[in-house]
Structure 1
Amino acid sequence: MNRWQDDPAYQAVERAFVDGDPLDQAGGPLDVRAVVAGIRAEARERFLIEEVPWGRFPEGGRVQEAMEWLRSGDATRADSALGRLGGLCADDRRAAVAPTVPFLIRIGTDPEASHRVAALAVAASAVRMRYHGVCTRADMLRSRDDEWFFEVTGYPQNWSVRAARDAIAADAGLLLPLLDDPDPEMRIAAAYVLAAATCRVRSIRTAFHARLLVEHDPATRAGLVLAIAELGRAHPDPWTARWLRSCWSDPARPPEVRVIAALGWLCLTDLPVPDELRTMLDELATDQTARLTAPLPWMRAVASIDGDGLTRCLRIMLHPDTADTEGYDAPWL
């Protein structure tokens, strides 16, 4: 049985990024940012996965096989493929997954395709590093692709994440119409992906706000507020934090919007927590609100047990000196 140490891709990454200077590889064949940017438009549209040099990156062979399964159109194989890709992201092996993002977006935006929401979920997993389980004010909603972090393979994780985020920005025009999809799950998935884009920020932000004005599904409203907050964290502007504060302090807003806006505001500022915010959360951050927001991908990512994402975030953000343990009756007090 072959060991991972004997894999040529692992060996190349070790020589280039562990033993050598990572900056020497910028723009070269091992720079996944350049590889993703170089995928031809025709290859993206026609699912020509053979044009992608998967073998340059650790686990590339497994990723290419998963992409073949997706291309086959077989529903069972597609489910296995997306599970494999998501698992590689969870295992901190994103370099070979990043080039799948343009193809996953096309699955997600194809009304005839199966597994549309799941495909977008994998694309979203590729762009969020050091994210799962993290819900402090300093770190939640933060992309961190401008800092050096390394995957378990030795590959620069910030390059993998940046490549995937750039791919989302390049295809934002395909994703934006999904904010008006009839399926709330699809609208939430599209917002989750678009919130990680590196550019086209103004048009994406405008689309989020436009959808929020007409959105009738409470969970989707909460997701759109989180997407606006995440976009505002990655691309700071003086307006988003003020808007979030106006939302959580406005009694006319729906409860889930006020609670999630408070969460977003806490992530975008380091100001002391106002008594007004604590009072509002005491009234509105109920078990019902927690259940409503639990399916949101942001909340699933930070949950320690099923459904506790919101209460865990509030406990940690409002009581940073308190141990992260379960069992508080009113953890935000």
Structure 2
Amino acid sequence: MTTEVKDGLRYDAVPWARFHHCFGSGSDVPTLLEDIRLGDDEASGRALGTLWNRVCHQGGTSAPGALAVPFLIRIALAYSRHRADLLLLVGAVARRPHFGDGSRTGLLRAGDLAGSVRIEPSGHPGTWSVEAARDAVAADAELLCFLLDDCEPAVRQAAAYALAAALPPPANAAPSLHARLAREGDPVARACLILAIGQLCREDGDPATVTQLHDWWHHTGAPMDVRVSAALAWLCLVDDCVPAEIDVLFDTAVTDELTALLAPVPWLRDAQDGVRSNGLLVCLDQMRNPDDFPWLIAY
């Protein structure tokens, strides 16, 4: 997809009808995108909900969703209405279905396991659509980095979530996340930035980032949202047994107040299992007691 097509919102240059979402042909996606962009508040919100249900139904990416990523990013950039939700949709279509997986091997894994097979409504392997969406995110990473400095915390949170899915990780992604974190005052956004840094590190294996995350959770003077999110990210990047110090941190820091505060973090919402409504508690349980969740290896 050329820059001219993306920047000009040239929907007509995209072969939508060749691809299908859960409700049929993707040919309806351009109309929904335009309704989001140009409709009044009610019509725009309704179109966004419909688009989300069609291209990311029950957490599963479809080919039309991957094709929509460049347009979603540009609409979010140009219009403040629904900006955070548009970016959350970008992040959602660029991640595999999580099915309540908040484990050390699953929380920060955007792609499917090698050799796994998911067939989407188009008949194509579902992993192709996730990979295509992640490629699209990487191609427009500069726009997402710009949105990391949006005035609204919810937009900064969503921009970090979307940027973390980029594959391959662009050179400017991690530095932009670190730069934003250095001046971020919103605790939910801080958690998102840290988890995004961890997710990019999971792809590029940067040992300096692993060390940095260790230092963050180990720093007793840091805010608890920083320490807990850094501990989660660090556990996803190392094979060590859960250290006693992290157990103490979780037991003392993860209060009702902190779990409620971090509930909007997209990664933690992905980990919700339908029984416990707070993804942070799901993550702690799965990371500390992996033998109780043997089925997660299948995802």
Identity %: 41
**1:143 maps to what in 2?**
110
Which of 26, 45, 69 aligns to 1:60? It is 26
Cα 1:286/1:108, change in 2 over 3 Å:
same
Q: Which has the larger radius of gyration?
A: 1
Consecutive unaligned residues of structure 1, counting only runs of 5 or more, are: 1-38, 325-333
The reply to whether residue 219 of structure 1 matches residue 219 of structure 2 is no
- The whole-number CA distance in structure 2 between the counterparts of 1:156 and 1:264 is 29
- Does residue 188 (structure 1) correspond to residue 154 (structure 2)? The answer is no
Gap change, CA 1:117 and 1:317, over 3 Å in 2: same
- Aligned partners of 1:303 and 1:312 also within 8 Å: yes
Summarize deviations over 1:273-311 as a string: whole Å, max 9, x none: 111111111111111111111011111111235741111
Question: What TM-score, normalized by structure 2, do the two folds share?
Answer: 0.89
CA distance in 2, matches of 1:207, 1:292: 24
Q: What's the offset of the Cα at 1:71? A: 4.7
After TM superposition, the structure 1 stretch with the greater mean CA deviation from structure 2, 59-68 or 127-136, is: 59-68
- Partner Cα separation in structure 1 for residue 167 and residue 7 of structure 2: 21
Q: CA RMSD in A?
A: 2.0
CA shift for structure 1 position 151: 2.9
SS at structure 1 position matched to 2:222: coil
Structure-1 separation of matches of 2:29 and 2:149 = 31
**Quick one: distance in 1 between partners of 2:293 and 2:98?**
19
- Seen in structure 2, the aligned counterparts of structure 1 residues 93 and 157 have a Cα distance that, compared at 3 Å, is same
Q: Which amino acid aligns with 1:95?
A: A
Q: Which amino acid aligns with 1:80?
A: R
Q: Which position in structure 1 is the counterpart of 2:13?
A: 51
Q: What residue identity is the alignment partner of 2:49? A: G
Task: Kindly state the Cα deviation for residue 57 of structure 1 after the two structures are TM-superposed.
Answer: 0.7
Displacement of 1:73: 3.5
Q: Is the 8 A contact 1:143 1:234 kept in 2?
A: no
Large movers: runs of 4+ above 6 Å: none
Is 1:255 matched up with 2:224? yes
- Aligned partner of 2:72 among 96, 99, 104: 104
CA contact (8 A) 1:212 1:224 kept: yes
Structure 2: state its 5+ residue gaps.
Answer: 295-299
**Secondary structure in 2 matching 1:164:** helix
Q: Which residue of 1 aligns with 2:41?
A: 75
Contact 2:134 2:165 in 1 (8 A): yes
The aligned length equals 285
Alignment-derived partner of residue 297 in structure 2? none
Q: TM-score, normalised by structure 1?
A: 0.80
Deviations 1:229-286 (A, max 9, x none): 1111122222222211111111011111111111111111121111111111111111
Match of 1:286 in 2: 255
Contact 2:62/2:120 (8 A) holds in 1: no
5 Å-filtered alignment, 1:1-333, equals 39-58=1-20, 59-88=25-54, 89-91=56-58, 92-110=60-78, 112-144=79-111, 147=114, 148-153=116-121, 154-305=123-274, 307-322=277-292
Q: CA separation in 1, counterparts of 2:279 and 2:101? A: 10
Higher relative contact order (CA 8 A, sep 6+): 2
1:146 Cα deviation from its structure 2 partner: 7.0
